[in-house]
Amino acid sequence: MTKDDIIALPNAHLRKRSSKVGFISDDIKQLVTAMKDATLDWEDSRKHEVGVALAAIQVDKPLRIVVIRNNFDNKEDRNFRVFINPEITKFEGITEEDYEGCLSVRDVYGKVPRNTKIRVRALDVNGKEIRITAEGFLARVFQHEIDHTNGKLFVDHIKDNPDAFFVLGEDGHLIKLNYEKDVRDNPILW
């Protein structure tokens, strides 16, 4: 798969709940590899961004599978961890707003409220149960990706906040969007 296999709003498939994976077959393992490839291909096409994570629904496969990069700060580390049937078992910490982007919400970023600490349960690619306490940016990434498996996108969290929408400038800095002109009635976002 390549970046061209990543679907984006207004594709209605992104709004559907994904199904649980019952058996981790060779097809599932091939899908995981394809998801990583698509994420890295997307990253290679972007000057100022890192491909942090991807949910299977973003490549139009309605399965509860998420891949998350091992090291967000090192573009040279192109390895990912796999989370099958991930679920948040507990929300902790406080709620903080921070910036998020999404490979399926093209060129729009948002300042999204998320919990700073969560607990997650999932399976790895070999079917072994994983339990993680995620904090900070990793907690944000998990919440974003698990939202995808439930048919929700980051823009849904901020749709009523006119100050929360941004676009990335040529220099890599975020520029606030005009809510009335660029966001509210934009069919690409909803």
- The total number of residues shown for the chain amounts to 190
pLDDT band at 184 (very low <50, low <70, confident <90, very high): confident
> Among the residues of 26-85, which ranges form H helices?
26-44
Bridge partners of 150, per DSSP, are none
Tell me the CATH number at 81.
Answer: 3.90.45.10
170 within some domain: yes
What's the farthest any 2 CA atoms get from each other in the chain?
48
190 within some domain: no
pLDDT band at 162 (very low <50, low <70, confident <90, very high): very high
pLDDT digits (tens, 9 = 90+) for 68-101: 999 988 889 999 999 999 999 999 999 999 999 9
64 within some domain: yes
41 within some domain: yes
**135 included as an active-site residue:** no
107 within some domain: yes
Nearest to 136 by CA among 164, 115, 112, 111: 115
163 within some domain: yes
189 within some domain: no
CA distance 30 to 12: 25
The catalytically annotated residue of 100, 145, 170, 180 is 145
pLDDT band at 107 (very low <50, low <70, confident <90, very high): confident
For the cut 90, the answer to whether the pLDDT of residue 190 exceeds it is no
Report the predicted TM-score, pTM, of the whole model to 2 decimal places.
Answer: 0.95
Domain assignment of residue 28, given as a range: 3-183
151 within some domain: yes
Number of domains in the chain: 1
